[in-house]
Structure formats: structure tokens, C-alpha cells
Amino acid sequence: MELIVYNKAGEDTGKKIELNEEIFGIEPNDHAIYLDVKQFMANNRQGTHKTKERNEIAGSTKKIKRQKGTGGARAGSIKSPLFPGGGRVFGPQPKVYNFKLNKKVKQLARKSALAYKARENSIIVVEDFNLEMPKTQEFNQLRSNLKINDKKSLFVIPVSDKNLYLSSRNIQNTKISTATDINTYDILNSNTVVMLESSVGIIENAFKI
């Protein structure tokens, strides 16, 4: 599969780049995608939810009324879950949601996500560029030139670029990721994947087993 390489102005440079069919042309595996996205979202959960049980409530342990003769149910402590301010029965406790996933399954999931984007013609390749200084206006102009202003986009860059990151962090629906750090969730969560030219080769090398 061949894609046109554009420049920062959104113009055709006359160059074309060949996408590896073993990555961008495979038959997507939906179950692998499901597992990888599930792991990604589980790993992002804090798991710090917590309620206090009756042994953790601050309060008197004095018997609040006599055992018999009141006409009501017996009660031994104000910390009982039956009273306002009492402990909660079987409430949520801190939990780790992380789980392990086979490396090859994760790799297949990312390949499948990229294959879906390739099928939808949602991948744009831009020749390598650098920003001399952080400038949101310049980055916005780039998005405008590529006609993706109204689309959720993922920019895949070859190496970490502080100026590019600072230029884009205040723009909604835009995410920057290095070629070695892209994940299935971010790929599928974007309408358009914009790759710098040298990122394509890095991605292809990363998927070699």
C-alpha cells in the first residue's frame, strides 16, 4: 500500500512511501484488540475506592439502649451499619485491576488497529519537520493544512520532541506519541493518524519479532 508524503503546508511532495503489508495489510483480529484495550483501560484505573466498615468508624462502643423492653430491635453500637454514620457492609475496597497480556497478543492488536486505519484511508504521512520553538499557532496551522482541524488526531513522531508536545498540549482532540509508544487504544480513539515519514520505518522495525 502506497501513501503520498505531504509537507507541512499540506502539499504533495512528489514522494510516496510503501506501507508494510505484514503490518498495515493484515486481517484485523478483533479479539486481540478487545483484550489490549481492556488491559489499557484496566491499567489506568486507580483502584483507590474505599468505604469504612464498622470497625473503622470513630464512635462510642457503649450499648445505646437496653436489650429488651423498648419495643424495637436490639442494638449494641452506634457504629452499626443500620444507623446513619455507621459502617458500610461489604463496601468497595482498594483493588489492583492490572492484568498481564501476552506480548504477541498486544503486538497483533496494534497491527490490527493500524490495519483498520489503513483500510479507512485514515493515515496521513508528513515529511519530517521540527519546530524551532513551542508555538500553538504554528501547530494549528499544520492541522489546518492537513484538513484535520475538526478530527480527533494522533500524531506519531519518531522521537520525543518537547517543542511539538508543548505546541499541541492545549489543543483538544490531539495527541502526540512516539512511534515506539503507540498503543491500540490511542490508534482506535483517533479519526486520523498522522505519521512523520521516519516514524513509519520505526514502527515497522518495532513489530519485527
- Output the domain CATH number for residue 184: 3.40.1370.10
Distances (CA, A) of 47 to 34, 124, 177: 21, 38, 26
- Average pLDDT rounded to a whole number, residues 29-35: 97
pLDDT at 206 over 90: no
- Asked if residue 185 and residue 115 are part of one domain, the reply reads yes
Q: Are the beta carbons of 128 and 8 closer than 8 angstroms? A: no
Whether residue 191 sits in one domain with residue 107? yes
**Span 60-81, pLDDT tens digits:** 888 999 999 999 899 889 999 9
Q: What is the pLDDT of residues 126-161, one digit of tens each?
A: 998 888 899 999 999 999 999 998 899 999 999 898
Let me know whether 117 and 18 are in one domain. yes
Mark whether 41 and 66 lie in a shared domain.
no
Residue numbers of the domain that contains 168: 2-46+99-206
Last residue of a domain, one of 29, 62, 91: 91
Predicted pLDDT of residue 45 = 93
> Which candidate, 44, 42, 40, places its Cα nearest to that of 113?
40
Same domain, yes or no: 83 and 117? no
Provide the 10 A C-beta neighbour count for residue 125.
Answer: 22
Burial 171-209 (b: 16+ CB within 10 A, else e): eeebbbbebeebbbbbbbebebbbbbbebbebbeeeeee
Residues 15 and 56 in one domain: no
In this structure, the answer to whether residues 151 and 59 fall within a common structural domain is no
Same-domain check for residues 86 and 143: no
33 with 127, same domain: the answer is yes
Same domain, 129 and 34: yes
CA–CA distance, 53 with 44 (Å, rounded to integer): 27
Structural domain count of the chain: 2
Separation of alpha carbons 16 and 6, rounded Å = 9
Residues 38 and 55 in one domain: no
- Three-state SS across the chain? CEEEEECCCCCEEEEEEECCHHHHCCCCCHHHHHHHHHHHHHHCCCCCCCCCCHHHCCCCCCCCCCCCCCCCCCCCCCCCCCCCCCCCCCCCCCCCCCCCCCHHHHHHHHHHHHHHHHHCCCEEEECCCCCCCCCHHHHHHHHHHCCCCCCCEEEEECCCCHHHHHHHCCCCCEEEEECCCCCHHHHHCCCEEEEEHHHHHHHHHHCCC
Residues 61 and 83 grouped into a single domain: yes
Which cell numbers in the block locate residue 108? 497483533
Percent of the chain, pLDDT > 70? 100
Tens of pLDDT, residues 165-198? 999 988 989 999 999 999 999 999 999 999 999 9
